[in-house]
């Protein structure tokens, strides 16, 4: 009698050998249901029928993708123009470009199915606002105002300003060359320079040149020196005049300021203590006395450069100016009421000035007669009172410096200029 086969799929006859594997992409073998459909009463897929070896597959295998995941899980790319539009919209530097890029990005996103629509929309809105702002600024002239503010800020950032009465140390401990900044220090201690005045140069947009800056500083710094140090005898002999001046680069940014500075004649040496001696540090008597003497010094410094025999008409005019200035200063000194200790010394100085005035009157007459020898005679006598004993005595009585200044013929050209230097900024 025959034994019926076990339930389940038809098993091949062992004598016939194993049957070939079915084609996974073809129709299922006869007697099998399509994938995913099981006859009622049979084991569902994934469970082995009773008696079948464990691990043997049931039905055709899965079809897999080479990457190991479904392509539908890949995220869509972000449109690069959308990102660029957002960046330009936030920065507001090129609003028109940001707006154009945003519009192009929206078209590409719709056509290619990319992401980044929100970025493109936000970038377009911000760029539109920025473009409207730029149009408003141009229409109202705000751009020119902003440019002026920019130039002012740039000038302040590349140049610096020092003020009258300030003492400082220079980079490299030298007042020669180029500098961009200084360190302010107390005047009571050692320092490289002391500012005694400042002024602004006139000029257009074109830089006048280093020589023009230097010549202007020479013309205007020395008068400022006399105003800052009225007691010229108190100025040490090793002190010279320097200045900070604009460079070609700073001139383009609106820099026109020249600062006049005291510094040591030896660039390796320093100054100690303030040299200031003006209305802020002197009393009324000292100021009146120094104003008269300094006015006389100013006229005397205007002596013609040639010798009297070569320019006697010029010396005649100058001698008359000296005579008239003496007359004016004598009246000013006599009009002042002096302290008891200084009354007689000042009166003695005034007497010497009156004698000198008479000699200068005779010098004028000699020059008119073309008598050079007689002119020299009265010229020498007229100069005798200058820095004479009566001047020293009056200075001492008023508490002013009493050491006569020395004048170096090699470093002074008769104009009060002693050949200082410059420090460009």
Per-position pLDDT tens, the chain of length 425: 445 555 555 555 544 555 555 555 455 555 555 544 444 444 454 454 444 444 554 444 544 444 444 444 455 677 777 777 777 767 666 677 777 777 787 877 777 777 777 877 877 787 777 777 767 766 666 556 655 554 554 444 445 568 899 999 887 656 665 566 788 999 999 999 999 999 999 878 899 998 999 999 999 998 899 899 999 999 998 999 998 888 888 888 888 899 999 999 888 899 999 999 999 999 999 999 999 999 999 999 999 999 999 999 999 999 999 999 999 999 999 999 999 999 999 999 999 999 999 999 999 999 999 999 999 999 999 998 888 999 999 999 999 999 988 765 444 443 334 445 554 44
Strands 239-245 and 167-169: unpaired
Q: How far apart are CA 251 and CA 266, in angstroms?
A: 30
Q: How far apart are CA 243 and CA 263, in angstroms?
A: 9
Retrieve residue 140's tokens.
């109202």
| 129 to 89, 95, 97, 125: CA distances (angstroms) | 8, 8, 13, 6
- Return the pLDDT at 4: 55
- Return the pLDDT at 416: 38
| 247 to 38, 181, 206: CA distances (angstroms) | 97, 14, 11
- Is residue 357 within 8 Å of 330, Cβ to Cβ? yes
* End-to-end Cα separation, the chain, in angstroms: 123
Instruction: Please list, in sequence order, all residues whose beta carbon lies within 8 angstroms of the beta carbon of residue 206, skipping any fewer than 6 positions away.
Output: none
- DSSP-based three-state secondary structure for 306: coil
CA torsion 276-280-282-285 (nearest 10°) is 140
Cα-flanking dihedrals φ and ψ of residue 156, to 5°? -70, -25
- Is residue 175 within 8 Å of 268, Cβ to Cβ? no
Q: How far apart are CA 110 and CA 99, in angstroms?
A: 17
Question: Tokens 């008119």, residue?
Answer: 368
Retrieve residue 113's tokens.
């199915």
In total, the chain counts a number of residues equal to: 425
- Return the pLDDT at 248: 87
Which residues face 242 on adjacent strands? 261, 421
Question: Tokens 């006869």, residue?
Answer: 30
DSSP-derived letter for residue 371 is: -
Residue 293: burial class (beta carbons within 10 Å; 0-12, 13-18, 19+): buried
- DSSP-based three-state secondary structure for 243: strand
- DSSP-based three-state secondary structure for 78: strand
Instruction: Please list, in sequence order, all residues whose beta carbon lies within 8 angstroms of the beta carbon of residue 324, skipping any fewer than 6 positions away.
Output: none
């Amino acid at each position: 009698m025959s034994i019926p086969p076990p339930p389940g799929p038809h098993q091949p006859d062992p004598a016939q050998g194993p049957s070939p594997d079915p084609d996974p992409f073809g129709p299922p073998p006869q007697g099998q249901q399509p994938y995913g459909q099981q006859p009622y009463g049979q084991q569902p897929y994934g469970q082995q029928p009773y008696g079948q070896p464990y691990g043997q597959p049931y039905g055709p295998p899965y079809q897999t993708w080479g990457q190991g995941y479904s392509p539908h899980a890949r995220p869509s790319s972000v449109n690069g123009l959308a990102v660029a539009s957002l960046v330009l919209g936030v920065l507001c530097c090129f609003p028109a470009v940001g707006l154009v890029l945003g519009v192009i990005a929206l078209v590409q996103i719709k056509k290619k199915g990319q992401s980044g629509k929100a970025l493109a929309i936000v970038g377009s809105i911000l760029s539109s606002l920025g473009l409207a702002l730029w149009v408003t600024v141009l229409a109202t002239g705000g751009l020119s105002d902003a440019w002026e503010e920019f130039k002012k800020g740039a000038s302040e950032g590349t140049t610096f300003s020092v003020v009258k009465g300030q003492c400082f140390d220079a980079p490299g401990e030298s007042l020669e060359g180029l500098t961009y900044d200084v360190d302010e220090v107390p005047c009571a201690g050692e320092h490289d320079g002391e500012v005694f005045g400042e002024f602004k140069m006139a000029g257009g947009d074109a830089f006048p040149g280093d020589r023009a800056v230097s010549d202007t500083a020479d013309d205007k710094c020395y008068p400022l020196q006399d105003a800052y140090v009225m007691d010229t005898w108190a100025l040490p002999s090793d002190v010279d005049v320097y200045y900070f001046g604009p460079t070609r680069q700073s001139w383009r940014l609106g820099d026109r300021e020249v600062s006049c500075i005291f510094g040591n004649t030896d660039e390796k040496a320093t100054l100690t203590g303030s040299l200031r001696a003006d209305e802020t540090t002197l009393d009324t008597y000292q100021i009146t006395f120094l104003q008269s003497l300094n006015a006389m010094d100013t006229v005397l410094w205007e002596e013609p450069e040639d010798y009297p025999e070569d320019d006697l008409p010029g010396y005649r005019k100058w001698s008359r100016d000296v005579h008239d200035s003496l007359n004016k200063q004598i009246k000013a000194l006599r009009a002042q009421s002096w302290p008891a200790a200084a009354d007689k010394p000042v009166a003695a100085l005034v007497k010497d000035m009156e004698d000198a005035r008479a000699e200068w009157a005779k010098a004028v007459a000699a020059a008119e007669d073309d008598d050079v020898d007689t002119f020299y005679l009265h010229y020498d006598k007229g100069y005798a009172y200058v820095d004479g004993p009566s001047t020293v005595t009056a200075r001492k009585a008023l508490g002013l410096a009493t050491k006569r200044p020395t004048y170096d013929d090699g470093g002074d050209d008769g104009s009060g200029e002693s050949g200082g230097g410059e420090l460009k900024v």
